[in-house]
Structure 1
């Protein structure tokens, strides 16, 4: 067999670790390189040599350019270059690096440690790591003979390496702690020097405001001794006008909203005068005792504030002088300009007013007619031509009464115009009359007359509007209202409209009949004046929703003279085009018959028709609720299960009708014997129950009730004229304190107890 060995220059040196810088920092932190051997590690390497029967065992630390042996067995050299080291390769592996025969491994065949002393053939190296997981070296085994290395061997090596790794990690922890102590001591010394010799005030303040420590500069600044300040809080010496803002910023720092703040504020000096200061505050966390405090830097800015005040005063005086002189000059210039502009403006305004008036008349939708005191037309706009059919040229200087007033009304129209001219009213005069068009047709018109005087001459302005559409709309509205009233008054439901202040705006006849109104007598009244308070309390939340723009429905109970009535009501918001809710419409239906039927059916579903007592269905619901209350209150519960002794014989001999009367008598006797809070039910046939709750001593209370029941039913001697002897067997189940049984379990226990009572001779009770 021929083995091929590469030349020396083909040697594969170990690569650098991906986090080489961090790895070397971890190694340097331990301060173990070039230090004497330690017994703990030497014992491990000796043990490794013996366990694995190898001549060489090492604790190797891989430095930047060497591997140094902290502990070694079977090797004299203290270190070897890193580029030929096996351990340099081992620290790159996640687990142990095992080389069974180095001559057959291309990485190591040409390695001088293989070709020369110590003639390595077998190598196994387990990485050892720092606290942060960085590989700093290995625990390795070396032999000049090739050999196998099993999984068990690898596990044993890993365990030994863990012991070595623990040593180095302890050393790393110790060195870190030692370095931190040195840095802390240096920082503390630096802080103390800064605190005492700073040219500004420095203080440490508790989160409640108590001065904890102050420097000499702050004491001198405020005139207090250190002891005097430490007996106070910063609130004690802060000007009251500045305190709220300061406390608000303190709150923000404590809440974590800001980390620091700077504030100009005032302190009171020991002699009472005010000291302006610039305050900078930060929050400190003491990691040792987990406390928090503030550090405050305080600069005296009183002199700066005095200078600022003086500068502001001087600036104000200078500005006032400039303003006075400027005002004097401006006033003179303004007066001259005002005189010139006033004349020009008056002319422009007059011209603009004329143009505006002309355009207004030309584009007005109403007919404009100007008259002289005799009633002749002097102006006639385009709208007048369109409305009345006459052109301006046709009507100028013509009497207006002959143009727009029908012949039958001209005499009275002339008298009215003359009266208007003679009285010279200060306000406008309005009237409606049938106006005449050029073609002889008539239309409803509204006329507004106003008198003006221009350059000493009286004129009358008349605005005439065709109100044909308005009249038609008014008639349509009246017709719609009549139809709406007719429709709503004949509906069986209650209908009304209420404004946002809860005043009635509309009510139909049914609504009025319900609440004692007639012919609109409820209009304008507040709902509280009409509807009873209880019903309004129920309706209140729904009315609020309707006024918020939401349609809602609800059922209510209304008290009327003839009794209580139930209604189903729908509220529909009355929303304007701009979104404003100006009230709501109310539609109610009388559902009294339906509610009475529902209530009757609900009663029948849970009550025995013969005795009127709750039936088995109601019994189970009531018992469930009773047990639930017992668990909340921790008070006891008792259940009595009663069976009528000899009832079958009564039925067989005296008939079922008489048997029913016996059951009714039995039920009545039970109901009259127990408390109002106790519940008597009929389960079926001659089986009855009594539920007792809120008991401090359930067994004693139940036994007392059972004895009373047996005594009372024994007193019954005649039913419907016939001699009877009523007897009952009673089974009792109890729960002391919070009952943890289910309703079904409690019933089963009471049933079993009842059968025990029957077996004991009947007409007695038994307790389970």
Structure 2
């Protein structure tokens, strides 16, 4: 090169070729070597850098050649620069593409990915992770993974992180739990790797977080399934076994050893099993197994084995596994301990025998039928009542054997399920006619027979002979509605018939007559000849009057020597004619007692019932006034009521309408509380019945019932009810609520019939602190059916209903349903002498039975004597009130006392 002009020019040509043809690393080494060589040459001979003047002239011939190389040198330098820049851009592009690919791979990954700082902060996270944890990326950046990790998994995670940072491991994975945004625990599969700086310093973690909640749930389900299978096998006493025939190898599980009580170290084989089988069962068991092997079919076998303490019943089920040639290669099977099942079957058989003996011995007829309504069983009582033997009745339709009618001469029952089919057990009272003659009043109930899965397989019909009880019930019902002395209707029955008649006036526009008859001089005969003579006189006079009436007329003894007469569809003239005949017959009648003749007379008062006059209290008062006018006018007379007679009726004068309104609006009203408690725990008073006392304008105290009977306008009843509710909610409700007292307020029939008043009552209750469950409303029993909608509205609002005046009329229970009321308040007369009156005791017993059937509680009272309380307690009456429980006291005094109730 010393002899070449401008040697670096030629070197550049070499370098250009290297840059173009060689890889980057090799070209770089050549460049480096060249630079080092040139540097050494210059250092060794600095004269190379000096360019003498003659040097230029001596190398002038090379100038054209150098000029030719000059563009190439320039191009070479440019190309080199271009290649360098291109390589730099390509490198940047490659890096950018790698970053983009990584970012896209991370962002759109189906599993969660994140960059996590070495301190645990979330640097970057993808959508899958945000969706999994429920946080946005911004929210995650403000948190650390330690904050979101389940505490039990945190220590293990941190230990792995320390190993990763220290270089002990390059990556780790684990199953761990996180808290999501809702605070729920979620499972994830975590895989973590560490990114380090070129100097080895940890920069950040790359975390892959995969949602494995479903996997964990599946694992849990599978684990529970395996546990259930294992527990089921253990609980069911199931042992699993395998028998390989060619090597003759037996394999037993743990349960098989327990089942046969063989130590686990003993190797099972055919001989061991065969010796465990009871000798009586060995031949049969061996035959079944041999037949199964020959026929290549599964087998089921039951046999007994002997163990240390007892004999066990075993059921074996096995299936065969065939080889390629179709021969039995091995048997797989189970053994089940059937000892308890066998014992249960034996016990069931014995129970069945006892049941048959019991059914043959009880006093009720029992008939079993299948789904086709055909008889499958009859006990002896059913045979007697139907007139059919069981052999004759088997397979015969039920209603062919049982001839049942509704009443003695009523229609034939065509469907045994003719009662309320919405109930699980159907009950009905009918008449069963025996094939051999005679009949029975019966009460039957049908109960469906079901399998364990609820499928119906038939029914059981239980028939109870209630002939005697119905006879007694009819006697009681007759006693409740008739006067025991004269056998005429009593006052309660008479008033009921009057109400029925009054209800038809508006619809039929008929006229009826009400007559009051009062015997004259009866007291003199009764006092002079004795009560026996008085009773005989009343019976004869009742028969005399009854003989002169139509079949549709109603004659009743109202009490003492007073009689009432209802004449349906009868005008005033006809009523006067009938009453006059009766009075004349009574006046002319000669009563003979102990040889002496006695004569009495009678007076009668008549009032007309029509569209303009059909209030019960008013017509009763009018007839009473007219009767009094007859007696006052000379006795032995018949008087038709006229309005002016009311003013002359001084002894029974009715207070004026203005006075009644003034009493309701202005005068004092006192609420008297009567404590109610169980006769078995009389100290536990949990309810208070409220009665009313009012002050007249003259300062006299009048009770509620007397005051209401004097009303001639229904608006008065509405006003009194409003006054009661207003005073209670304004003055006492808050204190009652704070003490937890249950209060029963009276509500009249007129008030119950007013939708406006009922709404006002509910509104006042809603605006008061008193819970609805503490408010009870006392309403007359007969009003429950005519105003069922209002009663139901009160019950739906949470109020409790107490039906009062539950007495001798048992027909009410034919229509009373379980959801109509909560309590039955017995009539006071029914309870007064129950300890010495068998009829009253039986009536209360019947009412108590109906109350239990309907889910209602009974309240009896007022009870003054402890003996009465004991009698009512023995009957089963739920609650009583009266002096034996607590003395009556004003409500304001009760709520202001220190009394406190836990309700």
Say whether the fold is shared (TM-score over 0.5): no
**What TM-score results when the alignment is normalised by the length of structure 2?**
0.34
